[in-house]
Chain A
């Protein structure tokens, strides 16, 4: 009587990585194998159609990036050059040491940003409309509440719009459930312009940051300290203002 080939062996047979102690003959001799293999192939198709490779790969890279940033020692966190080019005129990267903020429960809250400023006595939680000075080092923390996906974009008084998070245009960040998310890189305010506005855009569904950047540029063209972005339906926004004092 032929022996039933274990499920884990069939999985490997399917990807051409049959363990050495099994042979094609073992699979052929198992009367249940063909039916089980057909079910696995159908399952492959179903999974790849439902969870498409490009989207999954983007999510995986994003998670990896977030976790790598979280593991990075604080002293090696640099002002991101992409942001420096648009929002902050910092040429030389500045090492920053930000204490980890205690986590907060986010249930029942609306999605919003918390902004901390590094000071000699510790980190100071700012309120929207706070005065910022050139050289101030700030860190943004996303409080997602029940939102699943988010992006942060900055608009300055010159109308320039810069994507702050995620680091690259593409799918929005997947937000942690029930807790906040500190962005990996701190920012340093420059002397240019009268204000900086940071927008947190959130949704229950995945979205592309391109739509957010487009809306931010449109808003930025009006150089307004208030006003909201015109976003596609399903996207929420929350703004945080820092007024520049030179």
Chain B
């Protein structure tokens, strides 16, 4: 549905977006990650046709956003950053306006408005003017506007920004559900959101894509991915560490914590092991040594670690 080819945008001497290429198909939810100022919003503005790219092309549903903007824009629902809305209008008249401009009329318009009011829980504020709304309601109003014509493509710029945890959960659920039959791109800098809602994630930094994959694939890139955490009681570090280091599956053993009689170790795997292989061998040797094991599990690797190591390579933290 969305094809972005080698997109470039320069503002004066600054290259805000520098050769971004990706595509999103129906049924995909693409998370767009990156530090502030990485070019996320600029990319989204080019996809939705608000600003023309310096170079490269965007195609939405086969229509080039530069050549046939109207046809392309009809397919897109867009929630801009900070959820702008006409302050002097009521929620209802704002949604009616959005529906009208999307070409919905009469009964059809009424039905569309009712549908999004229900989806975004706006019943209680329908006749309130937008400038009196709380941030959460304001955000949902603008979100409602973006889905009023049930578009096959959704572009959401920080859709959960400024919402409380319950509302965040709600919106993520909504995105995931809608993602089953739409192509969705949304930007965020909350990493748990990517795991909760995305089928794929792109990390962008200084205008360039630095990682692209499913959340699981990205997590595997983390330093600590696949490491085994072992919690022992009544064992000394200088007794356990050499034993575990000698395992053919282990690359390195770190003492995470040692206090009183509690010892926490992290054992890193060698390359090319199967899932669970390291954990099994650690368990076997613990059993042989008759250690008292309080906890033993394989760590998944954390997205924020990946994110940090990719976007801030100079300050790489060794776990």
Genuine A/B complex:
no
Q: Which residues of B contact A (CB under 8 A)?
A: none
Q: List A residues at the B interface (Cβ < 8 Å).
A: none
